Structure 1
Amino acid sequence: MSVVTLTVSDDEADIRLDRWFRRHYPHLTQGALQKLCRTGQVRVDGRRATAATRLAPGQAVRVPPIPNASRPPPLAVKPLDARQVREINQMVVYRDDHVIVLNKPAGIAVQGGPGITHHIDALLDGLRDSPDDPRPRLVHRIDRDTSGLLLVARTPGVAAKLAAAFRGRDVHKVYWAVVVGRPSPATGIIDQPLTKLGAGAGAISVVAERGDADAVHALSEYEVLDAAGRKLSWLALSPLTGRTHQLRVHCEALGNPILGDPKYGGDIAHVTGFTDKLHLHARRLEIPHPAGGTLMVEADLPPHMRETFRQIGFVAPATAQPRRS
C-alpha cells in the first residue's frame, strides 16, 4: 500500500470530503477518516482538510494507505416491478440530462422510516435510463401529506450542486394552500422562530420564544390569492427558511391553519363538507440549473385540492410549461 493522489472530477463538484471518501473507499469509517484528517494524512491541494471540506473539480486529494477493512456484504436490493416503474414515471413533470422534477401525490412519503415501506426514495431506480446510469438522488424533501414538486438529481455531482443552491437560499419555492379563515392583512411576512418537541416520526414544530436556546429563525411570505368570505382562503406561501413543517406552523400562528391539517390545526382545520386531507401543494420551483440559467417548473393541483377549488369557486391559472432561461 502506498500514498496515492486522486483528482476530483467535474461530477464531484461541491461534494463533502467524507462523502467523496465514502464513494471511493466505502469501507473507511467516518471515525477513521476524521483521524486521518486530524493527523494531516489526508490533504486537499497540499493543505489540511476536514471531513466537511467541500471539493472543487480538479483538486488533488492525497489519500494515505488505507487497509481493506472487512465489511458485511451489501444488502440485496429488490428490483422494481413494472407497476412501480410506471408509478414513479407518471410523477415526472420535467426531465433532462441533469435533473428530474416530480409532482409527488399527497400521502406518499419521500423517504422510508418505521413502518414506511412505500416511498419515493425506494422508487428512484425506476427513473434510470439504463442499469449503468447512477442512481438518481433526492435533493430535498416535502412532507408525506404535502403534494407537489420534488427535485431529483441524476448524478451525485448534480445533487451536490443543487444541495448547495438550497443551502444558499438560491432556490425559490411557492406553495399553494387553502386555509381556514381569511388572513389580515392580505399579504405579509410571518417571522416566528420555531423549535422542535419530541423526536422521530412523532416530533412536531412549535413557535418558540425569541431568545430560547433551541429556537431557530423561520421566515415565510404569504399572499391571499382569493377567499370565500371569511370561511376559507387560498394562499400563496414562500418559505424563506427551511424548517420542519414551517408553513404549517406559521399558518397556525397566523390564526389560519391549513385545511385538513389535524396535526397543527386540530378541530379548527376540519370544515364540514370538505375532505380532511392536507391542502398544501408545492406549486412552483425555480432553481439555478446545474448547466446554467434558471429552471422554472410548476405542478398541477392534486385531485382533493382541485375538488375543493371547484366547490368554493377558486379558479387556478393554467400550469405553465417548464422553462429554462
Structure 2
Amino acid sequence: MTPDPQMAFDDLCIGADLAGLRLDQALVKNWPHKSRAAWQKTINAGLLLLNHETCRSPAKKVLPGDQIRVFWPAEQDYKLLPENISLEIIFEDDDILVINKPAGIAVHPGPGHAEGTLVHALLYYAPEIFAHMNMQELRPGIVHRLDKDSSGVLIIAKNNRTENALKTAFKQRQCLKLYLALCRGGFRQTKGEINSPIARHPTQRKKMSARHPGGKEAYTSYQVLEDNGKAALLKVNILTGRTHQIRVHLASIGHPIAGDRLYGADKKHALFLPQRQMLHAWSLSLTHPATGEIMRFQAEPPDDFIEAMHKLQLEYPSFEGDTPQHSALP
C-alpha cells in the first residue's frame, strides 16, 4: 500500500529508551494499543517511513534520533463499545464529572486510536448517561479535550443541558485553565505572553504553526517557576484553546516542551527526551453550570512528570496558599 498524501500520520523521534530495539518493539512501546503482530502488518504494508524512506523490515534495530512516520489508514466506522478503563475521579455530581486524565489515553476515537479512549471508559462507567449523549459525533459528554499524551484535569458533562452550557463557557473564555509544562530553559524573564495566531502547517498536516498566515487568534501567558538554564518548569495560562496551543507557542519562542517529538525533538536532544511531552493540565476553575457556584479543580502531576523534573535537576514548588476545592493527589 502506498500512503495517500491526505492520510493521517504520527511522527516519532527515537530516544534513549527505545534505541536498540527492533522497529516493531519500539512501536509497541510507543503505541501499545496495537499488538506487535499488528505493527508488523503495518510495516509490511509500507505504511511506515524510517528517516524519510519506506521501511518494510520489522526486525530492523532503531537508533537514537531516528525519525519514524506512521500512516494511519482511514477507519470507516468506529465502534463505541464500553471498555473497563479506570477513571480517577476528582469530583462528581448530577451534572458534571471531573477526572484526572492519565497520559497515553485519547479523549475520543480518531485515526490511530479507535479503541481504548476516554469515551469508551465513560460508556462503561455510566452507560445509562453517556450512551444517550452526542453519539453521532463520538464525543458524548466531551466539552474540551487534552492531547493524548498530556495529563490532568478534564471536565465532562453528564447531560445535554450541561454540555451546551460548558461548551458556551469555554467558547466565551469563562474558564481559567492552568497548566504545568517542562520545557527547554534559559528564559530571560520570569513572566511572558505569546500572542501569535495558530494555523495548520502548510506541508505537515499533523502539525500546527505560529509562523504561517491565516491562523486563528491564540493567547498564552506563562510564569517561570524553576529554571536552571538547561530546563524550566512553567505555569501556563491559555485564554484560547487552539490545537496544540501551548506546545506550538513555546516551541515558537525557542522553549519546546520536553518530550514533544512533534515540535521539539531532534537528534541533538533525543538522548534526554522523556517518553511523552511533559504537559499537565494542573487546574481548572469555572462556574458550575447548574448551581452557579465558582469551583476549582486541581490534579498534581503524575510520577513520570516528577521523575522527569528530577532528571532535569528541577525542584517541584510547594504552591503555598494555593489550595483548591477539589483535588487529585499524586
Q: Report the TM-score range of the alignment, normalised by the length of the smaller protein.
A: 0.5 to 0.7
Corresponding residue to 1:188 among 192, 205, 220: 192
Flag the structure with more relative contact order, 1 or 2, with Cα contacts below 8 A and sequence separation at least 6.
Answer: 2
Q: Secondary structure at the match of 2:188?
A: coil
Question: Are the equivalent residues in 2 in contact too, given 1:94–1:100 (CA < 8 A)?
Answer: yes
Q: Do 2:81 and 2:120's aligned partners in 1 also have CA atoms closer than 8 Å?
A: no
1:253 CA displacement: 1.0
SS across alignment from 2:226: strand
Distance in 1 (alpha carbons) for counterparts of 2:169 and 2:123: 24
Q: Does 1:152 align with 2:151?
A: no
Check 1:148–1:132 CA distance in 2 against 1; reply closer, same or farther (3 A cut): closer
Distance 1:258 1:77 in 2: 33
**Structure with higher helix content:** 1
Equivalenced residues, count: 240
Deviation sequence 1:155-205 (CA, Å, 0-9, x none): 111010000000100010000001012222210111111110269x95211
The alignment status of 1:173 with 2:170, answered yes or no, reads no
Give 2:89's aligned residue. 92
Q: Secondary structure at the match of 2:283?
A: strand
Deviation per CA, 1:135-170: give whole Å up to 9, x if none: 561111111111111110111110100000001000
Structure 2 spans left out of the alignment, 5+ residues: 1-77, 134-139
SS in 2 for 1:162: helix
Please state if 1:204 is matched with 2:207. Answer: yes
Deviation, structure 1 residue 247: 0.4
Conserved 8 A contact 2:257-2:279 = yes
The percentage of counterpart residues that share the same residue type is 30
The CA distance in 1 between the partners of 2:124 and 2:325, in whole Å, is 22
Matched, 1:122 2:120: yes
Gaps of 5+ in 1: 1-74
Partners of 1:128 and 1:173 in 2: how far apart? Answer: 26
The answer to whether the 8 Å contact 1:139/1:163 transfers is: yes
SS of match in other structure, 2:166: helix
Q: Do 2:123 and 2:131's aligned partners in 1 also have CA atoms closer than 8 Å?
A: no
* 8 Å Cα contact 1:259/1:276 also seen in 2: no
Residues 297/238 of structure 1: CA separation in 2 closer, same or farther (3 Å cut): same
Instruction: Please say which structure displays the higher CA radius of gyration.
Output: 1
Q: Which runs of structure 2 are paired with 1:14-163 in the superposition (5 Å)?
A: 78-80=81-83, 84=84, 87-89=85-87, 91-116=88-113, 117-128=115-126, 137-163=141-167
The whole-number CA distance in structure 1 between the counterparts of 2:130 and 2:208 is: 41
1:322 to 322, 325, 330: 325
In the TM superposition, what whole-angstrom CA distance separates every residue of 1:47-69 from its partner, at most 9, and x where no partner exists? Answer: xxxxxxxxxxxxxxxxxxxxxxx
CA distance in 2, matches of 1:181, 1:249: 16
* Aligned residue type for 2:142: L
Alignment of 1:268-283 (within 5 A): 270=269, 272-273=271-272, 275-283=274-282
User: Aligned residue for 1:60?
Assistant: none
What's 1:37 paired with?
A: none
Superposition RMSD on alpha carbons, in Å? 2.8
TM-score calculated relative to the size of structure 2: 0.66
Q: 1:207 to 1:185 in 2, by over 3 A?
A: same
Contact 2:233 2:314 in 1 (8 A): no
Aligned equivalent of 1:18: none
Aligned AA for 2:234?
A: L
Indicate yes or no: 2:227 matched with 1:237: no
Contact 2:107–2:146 under 8 Å retained in 1: yes
Could you tell me how far apart the structure 1 residues matched to 2:239 and 2:176 are? 8
CA contact (8 A) 2:220 2:239 kept: yes
